[in-house]
């Protein structure tokens, strides 16, 4: 007898659901109340348990949208469990050899931050069935803020449950480890051909030839396979620097393979003019969160932008005069960001509303300046925070910016380094932007946008001079910051930047 399983009613206002992740495969033997898959509505994610014991036949695939009452799968209740016994016994034989204790360690998604409720499984470093040791990195997990390495919680045989690209809630099952003390011995007939055909050195391990998330993205954009790149990282791992320096080389074709190589080359040639090819990619967790937060800011704040311009010549002259001595003494270059950071810290002290935020029906004023700096990372925009910037010197600010930017490019920023922040700086000028209206980084109340420096004719004391000018844009929440405060804040920043000696003396 076949049992039809349909989408249950999950809420009064919910008319359809999306099939998220199947935990069981088509044809698997399932038990009563065993979780088969996840169903996602526009409000929550639900587990879908089996209503009978038998053989599973999947009807709706992952990603399908099914109406309430729609058929998801069927279960053949009459199927004998005995028929599956030989298969189960055969598949469990290697595990029985490897796991004498019979203990199975279930690994779940750990808590990685207070505000993070789900993660995406980026890639498996170890394969299903591999022998892993305690604390060995087996996978990489992406949250909406950072990338984390997932170490093994036991020594034994890895059994993957989640697939690459799956979105898992905190506490969700990622994999299982069949606990054993030593790696299972391989049989001679199976291992002999592999040993004869393998040319890899004995020192290679799971990291050899594996690309980090940043390196993987760069190689994908270049169209270079990871196998064609030599890794210089730990245990032969391919780093971002390896990927950036990799060049696509033409394969050496044998005479016999020449016709096939030519055909492949034609297939990979540039598309014909007028072609209308498209491709689809799933949004990353980071991109989803950025999208959701930016739309929320536009809808939930009374955002307004005010503009001004600043003559950058005094700062440029000061940098030219002292940049060599500065780098020799402090070991870091003197950039524009330290001047802007110091200037906004002084202005924030004088106009505290710009450094405040709304919490319900209250306004929270901060007597410190945690400056968020927008950085373009491989997986999207991240905003690490310079803590207590008002108390830091120019060289300390520059060193902190270099440190945070480097970790952002390598996807190594921690949750703590990206949470908090009372005011944000964003520099679109490095990409050539002349003017923009930056969006507030909630729950902050203001953000200062920097732009490119352009030489323009300016009237100075009745004379026309060519000066390096930059437009500044301050976007602010009008619910908490009035026009007088926003304009006065920006004018104060302009004053400090056009006479940077004021920053030295605090006037």
Task: Give 276-294 as a DSSP string.
Answer: ------PPPHHHHHHHHHH
| Terminal Cα distance for the chain, rounded | 86
Residue 247 in any domain: the answer is no
- Does 121 lie in the same domain as 48? no
Residues 21 and 166: beta-carbon distance below 8 Å: yes
What is the pTM (predicted TM-score) of this model?
0.53
Q: What is the pLDDT of residue 260?
A: 58
- Does 371 lie in the same domain as 344? yes
- Does 138 lie in the same domain as 68? no
Q: What is the pLDDT of residue 96?
A: 41
- Does 363 lie in the same domain as 231? no
List C-alpha distances in Å: 257 to 225, 260, 339, 488: 20, 5, 61, 72
Q: What is the pLDDT of residue 496?
A: 95
The residue that leads in pLDDT, 369 or 279, is 369
The CATH number covering residue 314 comes to: 3.30.559.10
- Joined together, the tokens standing for residue 83 give 């028929």
- Joined together, the tokens standing for residue 489 give 């804040």
Residue 202 in any domain: the answer is no
In sequence order, the β-bridge partners of residue 359 are: 362
For residue 9, the SS3 value is coil
With helix as H, strand as E and coil as C, how does 385-448 read?
EECCHHHCCHHHHHHHHHHHHHHHHCCCCCHHHHCCCCEEEEEHHHHCCCCCCCCCCCCCCEEE
Residue 278 in any domain: the answer is no
CA angle 164, 166, 167 (to 5 degrees): 140
* Lowest mean per-residue pLDDT among 248-257, 277-286, 409-418: 248-257
- Does 75 lie in the same domain as 177? no
Alpha carbons 443 and 34: distance in angstroms, whole number: 42
**Closest by CA position to 168, among listed 116, 206, 130:** 116
pLDDT, tens digit (0-9, with 9 covering 90-100), for 72-89: 999 988 654 444 444 444
Alpha carbons 272 and 274: distance in angstroms, whole number: 6
Cβ neighbours around 429 below 10 Å, total: 18
- Does 63 lie in the same domain as 5? yes
Region 464-470 average pLDDT? 95
- Does 386 lie in the same domain as 312? yes
The residue that leads in pLDDT, 268 or 154, is 154
Region 144-159 average pLDDT? 82
Structural domain containing residue 10: 1-79
- Does 222 lie in the same domain as 109? no
Neighbour-count burial for 209-238, b at 16+ CB within 10 Å, e otherwise: bbbbbbbbbbbeeeebebeebebebeebbb
Last residue of a domain, one of 242, 269, 288: 242
pLDDT, tens digit (0-9, with 9 covering 90-100), for 126-142: 888 888 888 888 988 87
Sign of CA dihedral 34, 37, 43, 44: positive
The CATH number covering residue 229 comes to: 4.10.320
**Alpha helices per DSSP H over 60-103:** 85-98
The CATH number covering residue 21 comes to: 2.40.50.100
Q: What is the pLDDT of residue 355?
A: 94
Residue 165 in any domain: the answer is yes
* Domain count of the fold of the chain: 4
Residue 291 in any domain: the answer is no
- Does 311 lie in the same domain as 415? yes
Dihedrals phi, psi of 176, to nearest 5 degrees: -130, 150
- Does 311 lie in the same domain as 371? yes
CA angle 160, 407, 370 (to 5 degrees): 120
Residue 194 in any domain: the answer is no
482 is catalytic: yes
Q: Please provide the size of the chain in residues.
A: 507
Confidence of residue 258 (pLDDT cuts 50, 70, 90): low
- Joined together, the tokens standing for residue 191 give 């291992």
- Does 121 lie in the same domain as 75? no
For residue 352, pLDDT over 90 is answered with yes
Last residue of a domain, one of 153, 185, 217: 185
Task: State how far Cα 131 lies from the chain centre.
Answer: 28
478 is catalytic: yes
Q: What is the pLDDT of residue 225?
A: 78
- Does 153 lie in the same domain as 121? yes
Residue with tokens 């400056």: 371
The 385-386 sheet, strands edge to edge: 303-311, 463-477, 446-460, 423-427, 371-373, 385-386
List C-alpha distances in Å: 293 to 171, 438, 443, 444, 447: 24, 14, 10, 12, 15
Residue 45 in any domain: the answer is yes
Residues 283 and 292: beta-carbon distance below 8 Å: no
């Amino acid at each position: 007898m076949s049992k039809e399983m349909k989408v249950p009613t999950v809420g009064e206002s919910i008319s359809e659901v999306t099939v998220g992740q199947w935990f069981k495969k088509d044809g698997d033997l399932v038990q009563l109340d065993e979780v088969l898959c996840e169903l996602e509505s526009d409000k929550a994610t639900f587990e879908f348990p089996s209503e009978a014991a038998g053989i599973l036949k999947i009807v709706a695939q992952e990603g399908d949208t099914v109406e309430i009452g729609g058929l998801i799968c069927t279960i053949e209740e009459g199927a004998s469990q005995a028929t599956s016994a030989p298969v189960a016994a055969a598949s469990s034989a290697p595990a029985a050899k490897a796991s004498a204790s019979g203990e199975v360690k279930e690994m779940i998604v750990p808590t990685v931050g207070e505000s993070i409720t789900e993660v995406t499984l980026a890639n498996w470093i170890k394969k299903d069935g591999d022998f892993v040791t305690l604390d060995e990195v087996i996978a990489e997990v992406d949250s909406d803020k950072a990338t984390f390495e997932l170490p093994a919680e036991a020594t034994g045989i890895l059994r993957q449950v989640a697939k690459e690209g799956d979105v898992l809630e905190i506490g969700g099952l990622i994999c299982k480890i069949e606990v054993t003390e030593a790696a299972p011995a391989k049989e001679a007939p199976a291992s002999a051909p592999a040993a004869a055909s393998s040319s890899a050195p004995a020192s290679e391990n799971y990291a050899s030839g594996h690309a980090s998330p940043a390196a993987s993205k760069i190689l994908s954009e270049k169209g270079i396979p990871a196998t064609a790149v030599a890794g210089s990282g730990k245990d032969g791992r391919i780093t971002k620097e390896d990927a950036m320096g990799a060049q696509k080389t033409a394969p050496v074709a044998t005479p016999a393979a020449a016709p096939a190589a030519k055909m492949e080359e034609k297939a990979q040639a540039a598309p014909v003019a007028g072609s209308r090819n498209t491709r689809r990619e799933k949004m990353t967790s980071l991109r989803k969160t950025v999208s959701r937060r930016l739309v929320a800011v536009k809808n939930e704040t009374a955002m307004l932008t005010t503009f001004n311009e600043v003559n950058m010549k005094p700062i440029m002259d000061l940098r030219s005069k002292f940049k060599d001595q500065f780098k020799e003494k402090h070991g870091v270059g003197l950039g524009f960001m330290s001047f802007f950071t110091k200037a906004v810290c002084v202005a924030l002290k004088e106009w505290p509303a710009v450094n405040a935020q709304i919490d319900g029906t209250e306004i929270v004023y901060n007597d410190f300046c945690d400056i968020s700096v927008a950085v373009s990372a491989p997986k999207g925009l991240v905003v690490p925070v310079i803590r207590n910037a008002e108390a830091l010197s120019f060289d300390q600010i520059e060193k902190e910016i270099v440190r945070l930017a480097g970790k952002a490019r390598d996807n190594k920023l921690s949750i703590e380094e990206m949470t908090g922040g009372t005011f944000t700086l964003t520099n679109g000028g490095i990409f050539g932007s002349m003017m923009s209206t930056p969006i507030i980084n909630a729950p902050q109340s203001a953000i200062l946008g920097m732009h490119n420096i352009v030489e323009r004719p300016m009237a100075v004391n009745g004379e026309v001079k060519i000066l390096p000018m930059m437009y500044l844009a301050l976007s602010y929440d009008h619910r908490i910051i009035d026009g007088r405060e926003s304009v006065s804040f920006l004018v104060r920043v302009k004053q400090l930047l056009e006479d940077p000696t004021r920053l030295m003396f605090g006037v």
